[in-house]
Structure 1
C-alpha cells in the first residue's frame, strides 16, 4: 500500500477513486504512567511513556485505515492526514484518514 500526503502519487497515474478511508483509536492514560509523568513535569523533558503510547496509537490508526482501503480494492491512499483530539480528560483519539485510490 502506497500512502502519501500529497493529492497524487509521484510517477503514478490514478485510475480509480475508491473513496474516503479512515482508521482511529482512543487511548487512555495509565494511572501508573500518570504518577510517574507528573514528576517529569516538575523537572521538564520528554514524557517517554506518553510518546510511546501516542506512537502506538498512530500505528493502530494507520493499520486500520490501510485495512479499510485494501477492503475497497485500493493500492494507494492519497491526501493522508493524522489528527488527534481529546475525547475526555484522560483519553485521546488519533485518527488517520485519506482517499483510497488505485494507481498504475
Structure 2
C-alpha cells in the first residue's frame, strides 16, 4: 500500500475509489500527567506525550490503510493527519486521504 501526501502519483494511471480514513482516540495517564506537568514547568520536551501521539498517528494510518485495502485500493493519495481534542485529556488522531486503484 502506497501512502502519499501528494495529490497524484506521477507515471501511474489510477481510478479514484473514494475516501479512506482511520482514527484513534488516546487519553492521558494521570501518573504521567503529574510528571509531564513538572517537565512543562521547566521547559523540557514532554516525552511521554510525544510517544503517545506518535503511536496514535501510527495506529490511525494503519487503520486508514486497512480501510483503503477493504475498498480494493492500491494507494492513498492526498493523505492528511489531523488532531482534535474530544474532551479534557483525550485527543482524536484522524488519518484520511483519497483511496485509488491502479489501472
Rounded to whole Å, the distance in 2 between the matches of 1:57 and 1:31 is: 18
**Shift of residue 13, structure 1, vs aligned partner:** 1.7
**Aligned match of 1:26:** 25
TM-score (norm 2): 0.96
Which whole-Å CA distance do the structure 2 matches of 1:52 and 1:63 have between them?
17
Partner residue of 1:64?
63
Q: Deviation of residue 29 (structure 1)?
A: 0.4
Return the offset for 1:38: 0.8
Which residue number corresponds to residue 79 of structure 1? Answer: 78
TM-score under structure 1 length normalisation: 0.95
SS in structure 1 opposite 2:34?
helix
Question: Aligned partners of 1:10, 1:25: CA distance in 2, in Å?
Answer: 31
Q: CA separation in 1, counterparts of 2:12 and 2:38?
A: 50
d(CA) in 2 for partners of 1:94 and 1:72? 21
**C-alpha distance after superposition, 1:47-95 (max 9, x if no partner):** 0000000000000000000000001110000100000000011100000
In the TM superposition, 1:85-100 aligns within 5 A as 85-100=84-99
What is the root-mean-square deviation of aligned Cα atoms in Å?
0.9
Aligned to 1:13: 13
Runs of 4+ in 1 over 2 A off after TM superposition: none
Look up the match of 1:41.
Answer: 40
**What displacement does 1:10 show?**
2.5
